[in-house]
Chains A and B, each alone.
Chain A
Amino acid sequence: MSQIRIQAPLSDTMIEKLTVGQKVLISGHIFTARDAAHKLMVELLQRGEELPIDLQGQIIYYVGPTPAKPGQVIGSAGPTTSGRMDAYTPMLLEKGLKGIIGKGNRSEKVRQALQNHNAVYFAAVGGSAALLAQCIKKAEVVAYEHLGTEAIRKLEVEDFPVIVVNDAHGGDLYSEGKAKYRRITLPLGS
């Protein structure tokens, strides 16, 4: 498997180099947000107000970590299902968001918006939250503290492992991967 190291926030030239199926190790700063924070951010945008964070070139990681044990930077921190954020994502891409880390299918509308905005969707391995937490070196709540696990955090990550699912060129690993290994046709007996 080809593997590449990148630095966050992302530059446009870096994004263009990323292709479906690549393993990517991310270092630098990323933000966390999931359902509740997305809802609040999009409500701000709809009222014409400013977001609590500048999304220009940034990566958002869909995660709601477990509480940190004493001595830990953050608790277990794996990706949550991305599809729930589909309704909000295009508006955030318009504000300069360049990368998303999550797991699971995106809607056609989101995939199109990723391409239009030269942005990329990465999958982290769902269920590997203890391992992923070890790649997080610092964590700080920067907005919506009242949301608890759903607050927006700024993370400093080092070699955080992800795989490119939707690149800026329209590729989609979920459909390509499935087609490559598919051996049956549904419905059976048809």
Chain B
Amino acid sequence: MRNIDAGEITRAVEKLCMEANYDLGADVRENMKKALEQEDSPVGREVLEQLLKNAEIAQTNRVPICQDTGMAIVFLEVGSEVHIDGDLTEAINEGVKNGYEQGYLRKSVVNDPVFGRINTGDNTPPIIHTEIVPGDSLKITLLPKGFGGENMSAIKMMVPADGLAGVKNFILETVDKAGPNPCPPVTVGVGIGGSFEKAAFLAKKALLRPVGSHHPQPEVARLEEELLAAINGLGIGPQGLGGRTTALAVHIETYPTHIGSMPVAVNFNCNAARHKEVIL
């Protein structure tokens, strides 16, 4: 058994909150630069240039890329040989609280979705997804999720008869309907299969992959490419003002499903595609 102190987890989460909000990922930057070269729309090019310039300002001045510094979504991969000294959930809550306070990040969480809607004041609670994996390390991935994209996400319980064409059309229609709202160029996370909640989880988890990376299964990777090309033919463009760069990437995750179903979920990450990980 390897011991990891809860305090170490808190400090790691604090740092992730700040870095994920200040530093545009190298993967995102690279894809945005590539998109800038290929963009036909003058307004679109101007938007992409502004986003790249903004990333530089944020990184240099240690300020958030976006004012929506998100609800903290935390993915844990806990090695089965790890023993945590202290309360894991509390350690993460504390990390989010400190990170958002010390990092001058916006507190965007309300205590109840319907009744009251009082800001909790410290951006807690985060949403924590835990997976037990072999090994003796702890991987923490933090996704500060903005809700411009979150609000445009969708899930559909499709049936086998809908086929691949049905899957493609549902994804494309969801992106088309979202238009400018999720702050394109977006990263489109897609979860196919499993059950209602599994598909949604996979769509979110797909956003954690390096932007532009491909699924290891060749037919899924080809579908990602094909959908990216189709999405960039929708005309939405950077910020929805018209152009070819509507998405930087499409990431698909799949899971076996029931003989009678084919769930499909679509989750958006905005142009900053924020996510940051650390292994303890």
A residues lining the B interface (CB < 8 Å): 1, 21, 23, 63-69, 72, 75-78, 80-81, 83, 103-105, 123, 125-134, 148-149, 161, 163, 165, 173-174, 176-184, 186-189
Contacts and interface: CB of A to CB of B under 8 A. Distances in A.
Contacts of A126: 66, 148, 183, 239, 270-271
Contacts of A83: 181
A165 to B, nearest CB: 8
Contacts of B63: 66, 69, 72, 75-76, 130, 133
B8 interface: no
Contact of A183 (B53, B233, B240): B233
A131 B272 CA distance: 14
Given A66-B104, A68-B104, A128-B51, A178 B242 contact: yes
A75 B68 CA distance: 11
A176 B235 CA distance: 10
A176 B240 CA distance: 10
Given A127-B272, A161-B50, A186-B176, 18 more contacts: A23-B46, A103-B148, A103-B240, A123-B180, A123-B239, A125-B54, A130-B54, A131-B50, A132-B54, A148-B119, A149-B106, A165-B241, A173-B242, A174-B241, A177-B43, A177-B237, A177-B242, A187-B165
Contacts, number: 178
Nearest to B62: A69
B173 interface: yes
A30 to B, nearest CB: 16
Contact of B179 (A75, A161, A174): A174
Contacts of B233: 182-184
12 contacts: A23-B46, A67-B104, A78-B67, A103-B148, A126-B270, A130-B64, A132-B54, A176-B242, A177-B243, A181-B41, A186-B172, A188-B165
A64 B108 CA distance: 9
A68 B92 CA distance: 25
Interface size class of B (residues with CB under 8 A): 35 or more
Contacts of B272: 127
B97 interface: no
B43 to A, nearest CB: 6
Q: Which 7 A-B pairs have the closest CB atoms?
A: A177-B242, A182-B235, A181-B235, A128-B54, A126-B183, A183-B233, A184-B233
A105 B54 CA distance: 23
Interface in B80-119: 104-108, 119
Interface of B: 40-43, 46-47, 50-51, 53-54, 57-58, 61, 63-69, 104-108, 119, 148, 151, 165, 168-169, 172-173, 176, 179-181, 183, 230, 233-237, 239-244, 270-272
B104 to A, nearest CB: 5
Given A64-B106, A126-B183, A130-B58, A76 B240 contact: no
The secondary structure that dominates the B interface is: loop
B270 A127 contact: yes
B237 A178 contact: yes
Contacts of A184: 230, 233-234
Nearest to B60: A130
B270 A181 contact: no
Contacts of B68: 64, 78, 80
Contacts of A65: 67, 106
Nearest to B41: A181
Nearest to B61: A130
A69 B64 CA distance: 11
A76 B234 contact: no
Contact of A66 (B64, B173, B234, B240): B64
B47 A125 contact: yes
Contacts of B243: 177, 181
B148 A178 contact: no
A183 B235 contact: yes
Contacts of B165: 187-189
